Structure 1
Amino acid sequence: MSLAKPAMRGLLAKRLRFHLPIAFALSIAAAAVFKYTVTEPRKQAYADFYKEYDAMKEFNAMKEAGVFQSVRPSGE
């Protein structure tokens, strides 16, 4: 009783036909999960922040705190 010879001819093509669609599907799924769990909440957080953001109010607060060297606080 002897062992059967392994099928070496066309082995790569056979394995690729099986694994390539799986890899493609998993990569699409990972991209979709990343989009809806990371990028969409981040875009919504930026939109919520800038909906109520007042740049002049922030500038005046930093000016009063003395952050800028070239701008004098309004009390001087």
Structure 2
Amino acid sequence: MSSSALPKPQMRDLLAKCLRFHIVGAIIVSLEVAASYEFGVAEPRKKAYADFYKNHDSMKDFEEMRKAGVFQSTK
């Protein structure tokens, strides 16, 4: 009869070992998501706003809306 002894399971510090692994993974994934959002969404949005307001004339827009009848209190 060949009986191979099974290794004893690790009982001490098992939760701490698993948590250490998962916390490091979670931090890495969250940093990757934050960086991709910053460079994929936030920066292009900031650039689009800057380009829009570079040549924006608010008085011209106001006059166009006033002539179109959007405002009731101005003539």
Answer yes or no: same fold by TM over 0.5. Answer: yes
Scaled by the length of structure 2, the TM-score of the pair is 0.83
Deviations along 1:36-71, one digit per CA (max 9) or x if unpaired, are: 000000000000111111100000000000111110
Quote the residue 1:13 is aligned against. Answer: 16
Measured in 2, the distance between the counterparts of 1:57 and 1:17 equals 59
| Cα RMSD (Å) | 1.5
Runs of 4+ aligned structure 1 residues displaced above 3 Å come to 1-6
Deviations along 1:14-39, one digit per CA (max 9) or x if unpaired, are: 10121211111111111011000000
Structure 2 gaps, min length 5: none
The percent identity for this pair of structures is 56
Quote the residue 1:38 is aligned against. Answer: 41
Quote the residue 1:27 is aligned against. Answer: 30
Q: Count residues in correspondence.
A: 72
Structure 1 gaps, min length 5: none
Scaled by the length of structure 1, the TM-score of the pair is 0.82
